[in-house]
A and B are shown apart, each in its own frame.
Chain A
Amino acid sequence: MTDPLLRVRDLKTYFVTEHGTGTARAVDGVSFELQPGETLGLVGESGCGKTVTSLSILRLIPEPPGHILPGSFIEFEGRNLLALAPRDLRAIRGNRIAMIFQEPMTSLNPVFTIGDQVAEAAIVHQGLSRKDARARAVEMLALVGIPEPDQRADDYPHQLSGGMRQRVMIAMALICHPQVLIADEPTTALDVTIQAQILELLDRLQRELGMAILLITHDLGIVAGAADRVVVMYAGQVVESAPVKELFARPAHPYTEGLMESVPRLDAQRSRLHAIPGSVPAATAWPAGCRFHPRCPHAWDKCRTEEPPLPAAGPGRTARCWLVAEPARRKGGA
């Protein structure tokens, strides 16, 4: 078992709200590991803290109102990212750990050509000359499947379609051959046929470049197809983690079960969808005890008062639920 490439331990990122109505505990003790070359899916709905987690890894959280609590630990290549000096951190961003975002339109600078933007990381991190960097950029654009890359390098972002822009973002992220790619909802804003193209591209690039991917999404379908292991988040915590096949075959946490049952599926018959009752609580007021208990069909007294830890629920699996210790309490049978 090799050493993990990226190890996040007990990450806590809190935000102070404007009116002082309390602290939003957006990420409240999250731990996971990313092995070299694997794709880890980080799944959850809005408000669960997955985006804040990814931004925290690269310390992209605006310092007021947010702050990463001491006691959080993010290890990469043997160093604690949270303790690095700004200059050392900058040497890692875009170079060893890269990130792509959801909205390619707003993530690209409209006044620079895409060639310039892709080349920038190479100039900054690898000290290439402008000519060499541009040549590398054109190579990358070809690698991500942009036709006529030499001409396209002189285009501006507004001249490209959404799918093309996302490819440019990927080229920008990968030009320095990072070890880790953090992809935050990379296809959510794209049409489904374009999404298929991008997912295929990421898959191919991962095999060719051998990097690890932290894939953040709310779409269980994407995770099923792209991830090796999955971490499910709810209310700022990890509630379940498992290898992907195990997760879908036998979800251990009621939230994961509920999610899977409420997703409309192409391969299922038309029927009334199962809906998880209630809604996601606000980050300033997580429920006491197990945070999912107000919406859980199996909840009993213990769930309302005691917060479950994250015990092992099988080989390579964890689930934050009292049912792991007391499976007989599951209502209506397994």
Chain B
Amino acid sequence: MSAPLLEVRDLVKHFPAQRGFFGMGRPKGVVRAVDGVSLNVLPGETLGLVGESGSGKSTLGRTILRLLEPTAGAVRFENQDVFALGADALRALRRRMQIVFQDPYGSLNPRMTVRQTLAEPLQIHRIASGAAAAARVLSLLEEVGLTADFADRYPHEMSGGQRQRVGIARALSVEPVFMLCDEPVSALDVSVQAQVLNLLADLQKKRRLAYLFIAHDLAVVKHIADRVAVMYLGKIVEEAPAAKLYERPRHPYTTSLLSAVPIPDPAAQKRRIVLAGDIPSPSNPPPGCPFHPRCPHPKKDARCGTEVPALREVAPGQRAACHFAEAPM
């Protein structure tokens, strides 16, 4: 059992809401985007992180990478305390942890060619310059399945899938060991989605990368993740190896989420669990278990509204935050 590459302990990220007084007053209320999350990622594995809007999954990813400063908690990467690093050490860290964004249209500078975009990280980290850099750019393009003539194109001359490949190439250019993939295929068409997912899987094998794969699409996550964590209102409500999670979920939210995903097979239509009500706002989470107002579990009782269930181990490798996790729906 190797040491974890990434350890997150009780990470909290709150955003102050609504400052009165021309932006200088005290904030009234807090958006609890990430509300105490702990997880581990081992080298070379893929942890899928699933949730809907308001779950805090994107904020979690960005805080782990220290693109946002945390409110509380700790993140250790390769045994270094990420939040205690100075500017130089942080820049060195950026070579090891990289990010692929959701929006292929916004994540590339519209005024830079592909070549310039891919060469920039090489310049920032003084990895290569001149002819060596040019050669690296071409080899990166090849690795993500783009021909050399793409090097001189601008983003608006490429399709969404091609731009996303450039984004992946850019992240790879610094030779990371860990990649945060923040909904990398959500904005792509189905046929292109499959291409990019296959590419990510191939790159993982070839370069021994670890992924934290954030998505809202459970079916996509199933095809790429070794373990899956489900988030709701800033907390992890269930975490398990992928096969176990999909087969026998232990948290009513996971069960409802799985039930809501449409299956492309008219013969396999099942009775859907339709949750009542909207997803609550992270600035005003319900007391007790955050899911209790919408929870369809038959055993739901008064305790759910007052006591926050802890994320505890209910089966080997499976954790769930529910008072009735032993008797799932």
Contacts and interface: CB of A to CB of B under 8 A. Distances in A.
Secondary structure at the B interface, as helix, strand, loop or mixed, is helix
A266 B263 contact: yes
B189 interface: yes
Given A193-B279, A258-B191, A221 B52 contact: no
Interface residues of A, number: 47
Interface string A199-239: 11000000000000000001111111100000000000000
Nearest to B242: A270
Interface stretch (A101-109, A275-283, A312-320): A275-283
A218 B193 CA distance: 13
Given A192-B257, A263-B190, A270-B222, A248 B274 contact: no
Contacts of A259: 190-191
Nearest to A262: B194
A161 interface: yes
B219 A192 contact: no
B264 A273 contact: no
Interface range on chain B: under 10, 10 to 19, 20 to 34, or 35 or more? 35 or more
A191 interface: yes
A292 to B, nearest CB: 11
Interface string B207-249: 0000000001111101110000000000000000011001000
Contact of A273 (B189, B223, B258, B269): B223
Nearest to B243: A270
Contact of B189 (A161, A218, A225, A270): A218
A163 interface: yes
Which residue, of B189, B218, B259, B269, has the highest number of chain A Cβ atoms within 10 A?
Answer: B189
A275 B195 contact: yes
A266 B265 CA distance: 11
B132 interface: no
B197 A264 contact: yes
A128 B322 CA distance: 52
B223 A163 contact: no
Which residue, of B192, B218, B258, B273, has the highest number of chain A Cβ atoms within 10 A?
Answer: B192
Contact of A276 (B194, B219, B265, B279): B194
B194 A274 contact: yes
B16 to A, nearest CB: 21
A269 to B, nearest CB: 9
A194 B279 contact: yes
B133 to A, nearest CB: 29
B258 A276 contact: no
A315 to B, nearest CB: 17
A260 interface: yes
B163 to A, nearest CB: 12
A224 B263 contact: yes
A152 to B, nearest CB: 12
B329 interface: no
Given A191-B279, A196-B274, A224-B262, A264 B269 contact: no
Interface of A: 45-46, 161-164, 191-197, 199-200, 218-225, 244-245, 248-249, 258-260, 262-268, 270-277, 279-280
